[in-house]
Structures are given as structure tokens and as C-alpha cells.
């Protein structure tokens, strides 16, 4: 889709009923993945192989069904980016686990996987009394990043953004934590053909966002709280706030900070594994992962 046309479409979608906007996204996403399958794109083959490995999906009709669901889900995500706050005003976002935000030490590092419409999660941070800084990677074209970041900042003044491509991004994250701001980081990521997390039966290095946030957690004695979102129907969502990753007992052990960070990183991997294995076809990175190669 031409960037200019995409910008116009995004503007128009703001004025449509939310169900229609979401449905348009689903249709466009479905068309895109079916076109890719017809052209035998390599990512489709990886997607099918990963389904076999992770969910024992072997029948071609089932693979295609899950491919279509994948396309529709992320087509909806892109379309819904234009109407996030509109969905919220219609009371279509439910939050479960708010009690897990009580008695937390601040600052807090929130983590989430790229499953379903993860942009919805930012609503949680509007409920907090201190600001939250979201780390993002500008993978999309300039027009799409304008649309996405405008939607993120649309949640209010408590949301701040830091790009991984900004100069001294790590130093800025540390400064935010020092000034009592929370961080929001998605630890699952792809770089140079490698999906760094979760492991999904592979041996993965202590690297990338998962390792970065684990070291920050130790350095600033920050809580690490996992969050994920599920689409329950059409444009209705439930955000689940999980119990924080416990590592207070670690501090009493005779181990250095590197080992403490490794224990946190390992627990993050456990949590991400559980979520991805539950719904692999709703995980953004499934087409990028090559389980045949990365074992």
C-alpha cells in the first residue's frame, strides 16, 4: 500500500464505527497473507513449519486457517491503531489483575509479548500515578510510524516514547528510571534474522531487550511485571496483569548482579514461552522465526 494512501485511509478510519474499522483491517490482512501464500513466500513456509513444531498442526487446511487468522489479527491491529482511545471510550477494554500493581516498588518495568493488539496495553499505564516510558523500534515506514506514535501518545501525558534509534537510548532509559518513571518493553524481538525471545526449545543468548531490561531491573531494584492482552471478540479486549517476577530472594544469595540478571531473564523467557505456545498464530514474530535453523 502506498504510504500516502495509507495515511489517508488511517484518517478516514477514525470516523467509522470501530467494528467497521477493525473489519476493514481484517479483510486487508486476510488478502495480504493469501496473496503471500499464493506466491509461495518464504515467510509462509516458516510460519507453517513453526505451527507444526509448536502446535502439531499438520493438515494443510488447518495451517491455512491459522495463517488467515494471523493475517486478520494483525490487519486488525494496524487498523485499530487509529481508534485505540475510541475503543476505550466504548468500554471495550477490561483489565484483570489490577491487584498485582499494589505494593509494587517504583520504578516498575512492564513487559509484554507481541501478541494480539499489544498497543491496547498502554491503557494500563493511564491508571498509574507516575509516568511510563515505552521503548519502541521504528521498523515501519515513516508514515506508519507517525500514525502509531500519535496513537500511543493519544493515551495522555503519562505516556512517553523512546526509540531504539535515538542517540544514547540506554542512557535515556536509565534517566527515566532514576526519575521514577516506569518502563514498558517488549522483550521478544527480531534482529538480523534472529528472533531473540522466547526460546521455544532453542538455546538463546543473553542479549537484546530481554537482557537489557533484566540488567536495568537489577541496577535500579525495579519490579518486573508481565502483561498481555487477548481479543475476546471483535473489538473487545482483556488485559491481564500478571504477578511480578519474584527476585527479592535472589538479593540474599551470594551471587553477583550478572547472575541476578540471568535469573530474571530466564523467568521472562518462561513467561513468554507459555504465552506464545498457547497462541502461536497470534504472535507477530512467528513468520520471522526459523525453528529448523535456530535450534
pLDDT tens digits for range 169-220: 999 999 999 999 999 999 999 988 899 999 999 999 999 999 999 999 999 9
Nine-digit cell at 25?
483491517
Distance CA 124, CA 241 (A): 9
Band the pLDDT of 12: cuts 50, 70, 90. confident
What pLDDT, on a 0 to 100 scale, did the predictor assign at position 106? 74
Distance CA 151, CA 153 (A): 6
Residue 34 CA neighbour count, 13 Å, CB half = 12
Residue 126 has pLDDT above 90, yes or no: yes
What pLDDT, on a 0 to 100 scale, did the predictor assign at position 15? 82
Name residue 239's beta-bridge partners. Answer: 95, 229
Residue 263 has pLDDT above 90, yes or no: yes
Distance CA 248, CA 260 (A): 10
What pLDDT, on a 0 to 100 scale, did the predictor assign at position 122? 97
Q: Mind listing the pLDDT tens digit for each residue in 23-73?
A: 999 999 999 999 999 999 999 999 999 999 998 888 999 999 999 999 999
Q: Please return the burial class of 16, using the count of CB atoms within 10 Å of its CB with bins 0-12, 13-18 and 19+.
A: middle
Amino acid at each position: 500500500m502506498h504510504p500516502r494512501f495509507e495515511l489517508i485511509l488511517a484518517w478516514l478510519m477514525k470516523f467509522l464505527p470501530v467494528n467497521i474499522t477493525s473489519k476493514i483491517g481484517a479483510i486487508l490482512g486476510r488478502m495480504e497473507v493469501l496473496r503471500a501464500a499464493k506466491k509461495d513466500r518464504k515467510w509462509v513456509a516458516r510460519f507453517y513449519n513453526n505451527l507444526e513444531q509448536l502446535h502439531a498442526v499438520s493438515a494443510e487446511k488447518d495451517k491455512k486457517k491459522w495463517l488467515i487468522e494471523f493475517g486478520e489479527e494483525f490487519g486488525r491491529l494496524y487498523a485499530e491503531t487509529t481508534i485505540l482511545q475510541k475503543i476505550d471510550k466504548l468500554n471495550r477494554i477490561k483489565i484483570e489483575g489490577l491487584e498485582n500493581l499494589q505494593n509494587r516498588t517504583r520504578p516498575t518495568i512492564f513487559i509484554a509479548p507481541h501478541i494480539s493488539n499489544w498497543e491496547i496495553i498502554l491503557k494500563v499505564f493511564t491508571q498509574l500515578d507516575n509516568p511510563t516510558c515505552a521503548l519502541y523500534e521504528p521498523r515501519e515506514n515513516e508514515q506508519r510510524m507517525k500514525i502509531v506514535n500519535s496513537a500511543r501518545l493519544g493515551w495522555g501525558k503519562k505516556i512517553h516514547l523512546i526509540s531504539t534509534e535515538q542517540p544514547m537510548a540506554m542512557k535515556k532509559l536509565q534517566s527515566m528510571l532514576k526519575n521514577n518513571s516506569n518502563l514498558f518493553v517488549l522483550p521478544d524481538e527480531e534482529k538480523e534474522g534472529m528472533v531473540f525471545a522466547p526460546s521455544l526449545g532453542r538455546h538463546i543468548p543473553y542479549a537484546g531487550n530481554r537482557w537489557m531490561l533484566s540488567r536495568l531491573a537489577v541496577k535500579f531494584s525495579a519490579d518486573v511485571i508481565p502483561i498481555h492482552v487477548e481479543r475476546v471478540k471483535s473489538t473487545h479486549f482483556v488485559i491481564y496483569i500478571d504477578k511480578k517476577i519474584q527476585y527479592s530472594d535472589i538479593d540474599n544469595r551470594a551471587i553477583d548482579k550478572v547472575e541476578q540478571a540471568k535469573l530474571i531473564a530466564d523467568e521472562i523467557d518462561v513467561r513468554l514461552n507459555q504465552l506464545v505456545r498457547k497462541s502461536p498464530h497470534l504472535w507477530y514474530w512467528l513468520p520471522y522465526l526459523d525453528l529448523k535453523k535456530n535450534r
